[in-house]
Amino acid sequence: MGSPSFFSRRLPPLWLLLLSPWPVWTQALPAATPSGPPGAPDCPEACVCAPGGQANCSGRALPAVPGGLRKSVRILLLDHNRVRALPPGAFVGAGALLRLDLHENGLRWVHAWAFWGLGALQQLDLSANQLEVLVPGTFVPLRALRDLSLAGNRLARLEPAALGALPLLRALNLRDNELPALARGLLAGLPALDTLRLRGNPWACGCALRPLCAWLRRHPSSAPEAETLLCVSPGRLTFSPLAALPDAAFSRCAQPLALRDLAVVYALGPASFLASLATCLGLGSLLTACRARRHRAAAAARHPLKRLPEPGSGTASPADPGSPAAGTAQA
C-alpha cells in the first residue's frame, strides 16, 4: 500500500475533498458556491448573483441592460455602467424586481414602455444621469413604487403625465436639476408623499411656482430642505425663500378655470364662433350690395341715356350727322 504522498499525487482534487474530515468538507462546500457564478441560469450574464436574488452588475461598462433576467432577481444593481438608453421592455422577465439602481450611467433617453412589467418595483434610482425630459407614461406601470430618485439630471420640466398616479410613493428626490417650477398637478397624484427633496434647482418666483409654494405651506414636514430653497429670479424676489412666500404674493396671477367654467367654454365656444362667422358674412354681403348700388347710381348720373327718335317719324335729330338739317347747318 502506498504512502499518503502517493495518493496525493494520484487522486483527483475532488476525491481528496471527499476523503477529508467531515467538518472540513462542510466548510468547503459553501465556499465553492458563495453567490452563484456569472452566467448561471438564474443570473444575468456578466453579473454576479448572491443569495436572496441580488444581481450585482455594477461598474462593468455594460452598454445595455443585460439579458437573461429571471423572476428570481429581486435586486438589480446596474450603476456605474454605460447604459445610455432604455428601450421598450428593457426588463422583460424581471417581473419580481423590487429594487433597480441605474445611477451614473450617462442615461439620456427612457422609452415610455421601458418599465412595463415591473409592477412590484419599490425603489428606482435614476440619479446622476443626463435625462432632459421624461415622456408621458414613463412611470405609469410602477404602481408599487415607494422611492424614486431623479437627482443630478438635466430636467427643466417634469410633466404630471410622466409620473402619473403613484399612490404609494413616499420619497421623491429632484435635487440638482434645472427646474424653475413644478407643473400644476404634479404633486396631486402623490398622496402618500412625505419626503420631497428640491435643493439645487433654479427656482423662478413667478406664477408657475404658486402650486409648489402652496404645497410647501400645507406639508411643512415633508420638505426638510424647504428653508434653504431660494428664488434665483425675478429681480425683486431674488433670494426670497420659497416657504416664506404667501399666497398674496401671487395675487396678480390668473386663477385657473374651474371644471364648470371649462365646460361652458368648450360648449359655447364653437357655437359663438359659427354665429360670429355667419354675422360677418351677412354684414359683408350687405355692405358689398350697398356699394354696388351706389356705384351704379353715380354712373347713371354722370352719363344720362340719349333720347332716341321714335320709329316712323319724319324728323331727324339735329344732332344726327346724316340729317339734312345737319347738312344745312354745316353749309
pLDDT in tens, the chain (331 residues): 444 444 344 444 433 333 333 333 333 323 223 344 444 557 887 899 998 899 999 999 999 999 888 899 999 999 999 999 999 999 999 999 999 999 999 999 999 999 999 999 999 999 999 999 999 999 999 999 999 999 999 999 999 999 888 999 999 999 999 999 999 899 988 999 999 999 999 998 888 888 898 899 888 889 888 888 888 876 666 777 887 787 777 777 765 544 554 455 456 567 666 777 788 788 888 888 888 888 777 777 776 655 545 555 554 444 445 544 444 444 3
| Phi, psi (rounded to 5 degrees) for 82 | -125, 40
Residues 59 and 150 in one domain: yes
Domain membership of residue 10 (yes or no) is: no
Domain assignment present for 85: yes
DSSP run (H or E) holding 124: strand 123-125
- Count of structural domains, the chain: 2
Q: Please tell me whether residues 192 and 214 are part of one structural domain.
A: no
70 and 167 in a single domain? The answer is: yes
CA dist 326 → 22, 54, 307, 321 (Å)? 155, 125, 18, 6
Query: Nearest-CA neighbor of 151 among 130, 174, 171, 120?
Result: 174
Are residue 221 and residue 77 in the same domain, yes or no?
A: no
Domain assignment present for residue 281? The answer is no
- For residue 52, the model assigns a pLDDT of 87
Contact predicate 28/7, CB 8 Å: no
Residue-level pLDDT at 271: 67
| Same domain flag for 185 and 45 | yes
CA distances from 35 to 32, 48, 52 (A): 9, 7, 10
The answer to whether residues 116 and 246 belong to one domain is no
86 and 181 part of one domain? yes
Q: What is the pTM of this model?
A: 0.66
Identify whether 234 is preceded by a cis peptide bond (ω within 30 of 0): yes
Query: 126 with 138, same domain?
Result: yes
Do 61 and 120 belong to one domain? yes
Name 121's Cβ contacts closer than 8 Å, sequence gap at least 6. Answer: 97, 98, 99, 100, 115, 142, 144, 145
Tell me the per-residue pLDDT of 212-268, one tens digit each, with 9 for 90 and over: 988 998 888 898 888 888 888 766 667 778 877 877 777 777 655 445 544 554 565
**Shared-domain flag, residues 74 and 151:** yes
**Alpha carbon distance 215, 165 (integer Å):** 17
For residues 130 and 216, state if they share a domain.
Answer: no
Would you state the pLDDT for residue 65? 95
The CATH number that applies at residue 130 is 3.80.10.10
**294 is a domain residue:** no
> Residue 198 sits in which domain range?
34-202
